[in-house]
Amino acid sequence: MERKNQNPIIQWIVKTKILGILFFVVIGAFVIYALGQALTNNPSLFLQQVVNGLQLGFVYALIALGYTMIYGIVRLINFAHGDVFMVGAFTSFFTISRFNLHLWFQNLFPSFPAMPAQIIGAITVVLASMAICALLAFTIEKIAYKPLREAPRISALITAIGISFFLEYFGALNFVFTPNYITYKRPFEVKSWFIGPSGFGTIESGVTSPSNSIIFSNIFVIIVLASLSLLLVLQYIVKRTKIGKAMRAVAYDKPTARLMGINSDAVISITFALGAALAGAAGVLYAIAYPQVYFTMGIIPGMKAFVAAVVGGIGSIPGAFIGALIMGQAETLSAAYISTPMRDAIAFSLLVIVLLIRPKGIMGEIASEKV
């Protein structure tokens, strides 16, 4: 045993963790000051970064939801989740480029107005990727994770890493996704608008938009709407439906849930499928926004979404969403104002900072339940 320091001031400092709090207050104040400066110096540049960050954050949110749901129910960090996202992106690449799935409605009803027909086509593409990813995760869970349900947690974790490598390098085979970077064909034309002091308008190709305005595209609108509506659907499922309530019961106490007649294995499978479907949708949206697909494209977004889920409080659905929006902002703002190569380092150090202040993450109370 070490001798306890009796000095009341030192004791007080230790007890209240005042130094740490002070440190973060100073950093926080500085960040807020710097952002305020950035906003006043060049509002349009700043707001443009916020828009870009939102676009990224809403995609991360969809991936992070899967991490958090799966962790919540089986206490597993599913490292293969980012690769499921990749499979979602590739699925849409094939459905669009090979099968013209995005055009099925237009082809079937040529006289139908073009815009809604395009929307229906794009939604079909997203749904197809979601279904394939759900099926994939369902299979992975049955084959790889279920046999390890009663094994020590580290076994399942290592298996998840193995599955992740398998999906990547199986994907890299020439008759699967190939090891190449592939240009992605969007299921619709990109349209951009500007908004600013000089008003609102469409950006025509070859014409520069007025200075001091913020540019956003239909991709941004689609990502935000899709992500929000999927979040609402998920929230509805988890809060209101019988299966959602069963998910929460199993997450909280599996043996007791089984005593109620809940088939916990089925509930866990459904949770994996649901999380993977969201990752699949994220894969499509990500490929639409940054139109290139390749077999390792899931690693970095997967990592970022994982950090987002932890920052938000792993196990918490609103937490994952908030964490993802923060990650998106951290990434674009640090790219714009600090340095582009540093942006990932800064985004990840956010993890360290948040966990130092709140080890359970921003919304992490729920995660404190016993396992």
Partner 1 sequence: MMLEVEKINVYYGAIHALSDLSFGVNEGEIVALIGANGAGKSTSLKTISGLLHPRDGSIRFLEEEISQTSAEEVVRKGIIHVPEGRKIFAPLTVLENLEMGAFLQTDKGQIECDMRNVFERFPRLKERQNQPGGTLSGGEQQMLAIARGLMSHPKLMLLDEPSMGLAPVLVEQIFEIIREINKQGTSILLVEQNAKMALSIADRAYVLETGNIVLQGNAREVMENPSVIQAYLGG
What is the binding site for partner 1 (CB under 8 A)?
Answer: 242, 245-246, 248-249, 252-253, 255-264, 366, 369
Q: Which of residues 8 and 255 has its CB atom nearest to partner 1 in the complex?
A: 255
Q: Burial level of 368, CB count in 10 A (0-12/13-18/19+)?
A: exposed
Q: Smallest distance, Å, CB 73 to partner 1?
A: 13
CA angle 322-328-333, nearest 5°? 125
Phi, psi of 194 (to 5 degrees): -120, 150
- Closer to partner 1 at the Cβ: 15 or 240? 240
Is 249 or 299 the residue whose CB approaches partner 1 more closely?
A: 249
Whose Cβ is closer to partner 1: residue 143's or residue 260's? 260
Least spacing, CB of residue 292 vs partner 1, in Å: 42
Closest CA to 337 of 32, 51, 49, 54: 49
Q: Do residues 142 and 269 make contact, with C-beta atoms less than 8 angstroms apart? A: yes
Q: Tell me how far apart the terminal alpha carbons of the chain are, to the nearest angstrom.
A: 32
Alpha-carbon 211 to chain mean position = 32
CA atoms of 313 and 146, how far apart (whole Å): 25
Give min distance, CB of 61 to partner 1, in A. 22
CB of 262 to partner 1, least distance (A): 5
**Rounded least distance, CB 371 to partner 1, Å:** 13
Task: Give least dist CB 257 to partner 1, A.
Answer: 7
In the bound state with partner 1, the residue whose beta carbon lies nearer, of 3 and 242, is 242
Q: Name the residue nearer to partner 1 (CB basis): 258 or 358.
A: 258
For 215, phi and psi rounded to 5 degrees? Answer: -105, 135
CB of 315 to partner 1, least distance (A): 10
Contact 218, 52 (CB under 8 A): no
Q: How far is CA 297 from CA 49, 179, 291, 348, in A?
A: 23, 11, 11, 18
When the beta carbons of 225 and 260 are compared against partner 1, the nearer one is 260
Three-class SS state of 214 = strand
